[in-house]
Amino acid sequence: MRIQIAVVAIAVILIAGENLEAVADSQTSTEDGTSSIVATKPTLQIEGEYAKYGDYIGLTPVDNQSVEVSQRIVKDIQIRFVNTKDQLLDDKGQPIKGRTQKEFIIGLLKLKSGEVFREDLLEADLQRLRRLESFNEVNVYRQEEVNSVNLIYEIKERDFPSLILGGGSNEDVGLFGRLGYKDENISGLNDKLDTTVQISGKDVQFNGQFTSRYRPQEPNRLGYSIRAFRNRNISGTFNEDIKLSNGDKVREGRFGGSVGVLRSFDQWDAAVSLNYTRISLRDRDYKVAQVDSLGNPLSVSGTGIDDLFTVLFSVSKDQRDRRENPTQGSILTLSTEQAIPIGLGNISSNRLQGDYIQYLPVSWIGNGRPTDNPEMLAINFQIGTTIGDFPPADAFNIGGLDSVRGYGYGKVASGRSYGLASIEYRFPISYSIGGVLFTDFASDFGSSETVLGEPGVLRDKPGSGFGYGLGLRVKSSFGLIRGDLGISDRGELRFEVTTGQRF
């Protein structure tokens, strides 16, 4: 409803800059907890100024230069859940029950019952709910009355918890089996548990993390995160171009953990964590190696093992329309990680990183059909540097499926600093299949020479690289499957398959 100003006759200049104060409507609560409006004409005090705040109806001047206005008020907010068939009722005719607590959802909303309705707040609330990993789809509907509006949110939850079984073979451990468990909605409060265990004939690897997110409706309670991990793989810094003295490739093992606290400020999410990582360089039999075949050191401590105790502070601003496969918006992440000189290596350094992603809807094909892969441009810029001494295995390794496609992992550079730019044009092929044209460019800015032992220089890594190609995106019951065919500026051709978007 368009609400119009009826009469205004006031001088603006005399009190320019003063704030207007709207007297809120008084409310009563019904037995079922919904609010009913008692006064539908809030009074706005105006002293010699032209009034404009939102939309108004029934504006009438009075003797004391006050005017009465009527505004649409949010009368009621309802939360409904739908099943995979988009049904609100089950086979017995009962409303679908969701795992997420309705009070938790309402607590995330900025636009609440009893407040003046605003389109911008409604859109922001909708996007905030769509960014939750526990929700697959969120829609909102309005029931408009003369002076009020009811909001109805319909939510389709993702299928959690999930059990993941897998296996395979790689050149490090050979055959392996993998078991994973994931739940993004523990206790109906969007707490997250994500664990993976990999067993092979050589060792056991694991990665487990529990996160209890910050809840805006409980401002005095901090969110927190706990993580533990142990993994090993062929080193991306010390790749096969220069091996160990016994002819083995360098294996890189890491184990450790972290604890952190989480807090949100307006549109920013912040995290502070204490982290520990032990990095060890080993041969095929997992014996510690101190130098490569040329006698270059593999660690700061000289023993083949380095300890990293760090304090990490990061902030992010997420304005995407949804978390999974977004169609528009942006996300900015900034972090600084300070190493404390404790343990092997006595390392003191600071690692700075920035990551910005922008999603831009386009209509170059313009078929307008609904799809899981909407047409858009996705742009990603990354930059980072490390100040002070750091383990060479902890250099920025450029190249690979999540960096410059067309190159193998770490084949572009292993530097102290780096910059990366990627552009993707994403377009629909069918409802569940999409295509991608991409290009990636990255550089170490000549910083590989400042890394201990110069592993990138000695292995003839170019320091900068360019890649381009095309890919397929397939929406499946296991998530988004990604296949990319990349061509490097050196003529190397690589096709790799994984899950999820590149960014």
DSSP string over 272-317: EEEEEEEEEEE-TT--B-SB-TT--BSSSSSSSEEEEEEEEEEEEE
Question: What are the pLDDT digits (tens) for 276-333?
Answer: 999 999 999 889 999 999 999 999 999 999 999 999 999 999 999 888 788 899 999 9
> Same domain, yes or no, for 353 and 384?
yes
- pLDDT reading at 22 higher than 80: no
Using the 8-state DSSP alphabet, how is residue 47 labeled? S
> Same domain, yes or no, for 45 and 114?
no
Question: What are the pLDDT digits (tens) for 119-173?
Answer: 999 999 999 999 998 998 999 999 988 889 999 999 999 988 989 898 888 888 8
Please name the amino acid found at residue 256: G
Domain-embedded: residue 443: yes
Task: Find the domain containing 54 and state its range.
Answer: 13-71
- pLDDT reading at 77 higher than 50: yes
Residue 368 pLDDT grade (very low, low, confident, very high; cuts 50, 70, 90): low
Tell me the pTM: 0.80
> Same domain, yes or no, for 248 and 390?
yes
Using the 8-state DSSP alphabet, how is residue 108 labeled? H
Q: What is the pLDDT of residue 91?
A: 87
Higher pLDDT, 210 or 22: 210
Region 106-117 average pLDDT: 92
Q: What is the rounded CA–CA span in Å between residue 405 and residue 471?
A: 11
Q: What is the pLDDT of residue 168?
A: 87
> Same domain, yes or no, for 292 and 265?
yes
> Same domain, yes or no, for 263 and 124?
no
> Same domain, yes or no, for 67 and 79?
no
> Same domain, yes or no, for 235 and 111?
no
Q: What is the rounded CA–CA span in Å between residue 408 and residue 471?
A: 17
> Same domain, yes or no, for 121 and 67?
no
Domain-embedded: residue 377: yes
**Is the alpha carbon torsion for 111, 113, 119, 123 positive or negative?**
positive
Instruction: Note every long-range contact of 41-46, with CB atoms under 8 Å and residues 24 or more positions apart, other chains counting.
Output: 41/68, 41/69, 41/70, 42/68, 42/69, 42/70, 42/71, 43/67, 43/68, 43/69, 44/20, 44/68, 44/69, 45/20, 45/21, 46/10, 46/20
Domain-embedded: residue 254: yes
Domain-embedded: residue 478: yes
E-strand ranges in 219-375 read: 223-234, 251-265, 268-282, 305-318, 329-340, 349-361
Q: What is the rounded CA–CA span in Å between residue 346 and residue 308?
A: 8
Residue 139 is part of a domain; what is its CATH number? 3.10.20.310
Residue 26 pLDDT grade (very low, low, confident, very high; cuts 50, 70, 90): very low
- The first and second tokens of residue 182, run together, are 């994931």
Q: What is the pLDDT of residue 386?
A: 98
Domain-embedded: residue 182: no
Is the distance from CB of 397 to CB of 237 less than 8 angstroms?
yes
Q: What is the pLDDT of residue 435?
A: 95
- pLDDT reading at 50 higher than 70: no
Question: What are the pLDDT digits (tens) for 196-241?
Answer: 999 998 889 999 999 999 998 898 999 999 999 999 999 999 987 8
> Same domain, yes or no, for 111 and 62?
no
Higher pLDDT, 460 or 28: 460
Question: Which residue reads 């992992």 in tokens?
Answer: 409
- pLDDT reading at 195 higher than 80: yes
Domain-embedded: residue 170: no
- pLDDT reading at 97 higher than 50: yes
Q: Which residue, of 21, 54, 71, is where some domain finishes?
A: 71
Domain-embedded: residue 333: yes
- Secondary structure of the chain: what % helix, strand, coil (to 5)? 5, 50, 45
Q: Give how many domains the chain has, as a whole number.
A: 3
Domain-embedded: residue 262: yes
Give the helix/strand (H/E) hosting 496. strand 493-499
Residue 300 is part of a domain; what is its CATH number? 2.40.160.50
> Same domain, yes or no, for 62 and 81?
no
3-state secondary structure of 228: strand
> Mean pLDDT, the chain, as a whole number?
85
DSSP of 137-191, one letter per residue? EEEEEEEE-SSEEEEEEEEEE---SEEEEEEEEETTTEEEEEEEEEEEEETTTTE
Angle at 359 between CA 408 and CA 362, to 5 degrees: 110
> Same domain, yes or no, for 346 and 493?
yes
Q: Which residue, of 157, 174, 198, is where some domain finishes?
A: 157
Which residues partner with 314 through β-bridges?
271, 335
> Same domain, yes or no, for 354 and 451?
yes
Q: Which residue, of 71, 92, 121, is where some domain finishes?
A: 71
